[in-house]
Structure 1
Amino acid sequence: MRDHALLLFLYNTGARADEAAKLTVGNLQLGASPSVRLHGKGNKIRICPLWPATAISLARLVTDRDRSDAVFLGRMKEPLTRFGIHRVVTQYAAMASKTVPTLATKRVSPHTIRHTTAVHLLRAGVDINTIRAWLGHVSLDTTHIYAEVDLEMKAKALAKVDISGLKEPPRQRSLPSLMAFLKAL
């Protein structure tokens, strides 16, 4: 239950492993408009919306817990560290590689999930500035990397361009050779 909630949370929010590790129950808003308050790099705070499925999964996980408790706990009821979160992600990536063989050759980490979130938001038509805020980037330049790496989106955009009305350039008539030109002078 914890691992499912963690993986869903990472993909839904694009949170860094450290942000998920430090997440407390009090930072969750699981009511009518579910959201999470994330404490990111440089003490930056951002709020991300949660899918209903993520909110339900998190609500089951934190039932009867204090607001100050960490959301993601290990077997000994201690907060998972970012290394523990990394282990969970790599463990499930290894399991998934049995049914998706291409995963076997890839390094999957919490940051990979964060990157996937950004690319999927971009493919869904979300503007780059919204993605910047979603991921907690200070600079748009940092987020712009995601727009540059997605060749599939570029190919789809190119396919939408209609060039059927373009005419072939007129054939150039052959020019006399330089020697013939000089002899004619």
Structure 2
Amino acid sequence: MENQPAKPKLLDQLRDRIRLKHYSRRTEDVYLDWAKRYILYHNKTHPQEMGKLEIEDFLTYLARDRKVSASTQNQAKAALLFLYKEVLDIKLPWLGEVEQAKKPQKMPVVLTEEEVQALLAKLPDSWLLVGRLLYGTGLRLLEGLRLRVQDLDFSANQLLVREGKGGKDRVTMLPQKLQLPLKDHLLRVKQLHDQDLAAGYGEVWLPEGVARKYPAAGKEWIWQYVFPSIKLSVDPRSGVTRRHHLDEKGLQRAIRQAGVDAGLTKHVTPHTLRHSFATHLLQAGYDIRTVQELLGHKDVQTTMIYTHVLNKGGRGVTSPLDRI
């Protein structure tokens, strides 16, 4: 009897399943990491031999002993449920005995309009247009970096956010002040793309469904990233040499340093610009539902946090010291 081919290792099976479901590279890395940590926590016991009790134990350990955030615990839970359902074909009963990580109520860090101006003035030219766009549109960090050329609608003064948080598309405004800078920027990006094509490259990564339906779309101008990387790189999944979008860590570092250089006493991140966008719209008199739609929030309660930021200290109460 001929030898049967060896069955792929569990983590290889998990990786293959994630790719079959067309999950992002980021999700792939995160799910693989949580699977490894779960197995190591249980002394390298195969997940096939474990189940509900072991998962509850691990998730409780994360909350009680490691003091992880609620979002981190939920991320680990999602990864393990995917492993059991999609790879091991094991349906788990409801996980009800898990100590939940506490979700602190944090007020968002918001800059004044003057502080935003000071921050942007200190951003290097290579990151300035992205920073202005994040503040001017309220986009999340990766929503901005993943914009494609065809997502910008200059005639309608709007842009399309594809597959934002929750996998939903939405439309938001395109600031008038960014029209000319973006058009000039795209001229330079087009030259770069033409150079890539002439050198035998020029293909951008596309979602699996689009790539399958339109095999040649990857080299088309409209699908190129608005903010491409300065260098080509090899896609670790396919081995194809492509030009990805700008690195999010680079923008995070640039904005953090700009906050320091501007003398700001607040912890500034790219998301701070989104918080400031929402708060400044409410200050300008726009209604909460409009802001919710622009931000892409599923629940208006998420947007309501910015109404609290608008209150003065002490819930709007004037201190008696200020009346004497």
When structure 1 is superposed on structure 2, of 109-118 and 73-82 the one drifting more is 73-82
Tell me, yes or no, if structure 1 residue 62 matches structure 2 residue 186: yes
Which one scores higher on RCO, CA 8 angstroms, separation ≥ 6?
1
1:96 aligns to what? 262
**Equivalent-residue separation in structure 2 for 1:107 and 1:73 (angstroms):** 27
| Per-residue CA distance 1:29-62 (angstroms, 9 max, x = gap) | 123x221101210111111111211122211111
SS in 1 for 2:225: coil
| Per-residue CA distance 1:69-107 (angstroms, 9 max, x = gap) | 11113332641133232223223223322xxxxx1x321
Unmatched segments (≥5 aa) in structure 2: 1-124, 194-220, 232-242, 319-324
Tell me, yes or no, if structure 1 residue 23 matches structure 2 residue 147: yes
1:9 aligns to what? 133
Q: TM-score, normalised by structure 1?
A: 0.73
Tell me, yes or no, if structure 1 residue 110 matches structure 2 residue 274: no
Matched residue type, 2:266: K
Matched residue type, 1:74: S
Q: Is the CA contact 1:18–1:81 (under 8 Å) kept in the aligned structure 2?
A: no
**Equivalent-residue separation in structure 1 for 2:166 and 2:279 (angstroms):** 24
1:174 aligns to what? none
**Equivalent-residue separation in structure 1 for 2:312 and 2:181 (angstroms):** 32
Q: Is the CA contact 1:21–1:85 (under 8 Å) kept in the aligned structure 2?
A: no
Matched residue type, 2:228: L
Matched residue type, 1:119: T
SS in 2 for 1:23: coil
Unmatched segments (≥5 aa) in structure 1: 98-102, 160-185
**Counterparts in 2 of 1:56 and 1:2: CA distance versus 1, 3 Å:** farther
| Per-residue CA distance 1:82-138 (angstroms, 9 max, x = gap) | 3232223223223322xxxxx1x3211111100000100000000000000010100
1:42 aligns to what? 166
1:178 aligns to what? none
What percentage of aligned pairs have identical amino acids?
33
2:93 aligns to what? none
Aligned length, in residue pairs:
150
Q: Is the CA contact 2:161–2:170 (under 8 Å) kept in the aligned structure 1?
A: yes
Matched residue type, 2:185: L
When structure 1 is superposed on structure 2, of 107-116 and 78-87 the one drifting more is 78-87
Q: TM-score, normalised by structure 2?
A: 0.43
Q: Is the CA contact 2:136–2:277 (under 8 Å) kept in the aligned structure 1?
A: yes
Q: Is the CA contact 1:128–1:144 (under 8 Å) kept in the aligned structure 2?
A: yes
SS in 2 for 1:131: helix
Matched residue type, 2:159: V
**Equivalent-residue separation in structure 2 for 1:152 and 1:119 (angstroms):** 13
Q: Is the CA contact 1:2–1:61 (under 8 Å) kept in the aligned structure 2?
A: no
Equivalent runs, 1:165-184 vs 2, <5 Å: none
CA RMSD of aligned residues (A): 2.2
1:86 aligns to what? 252
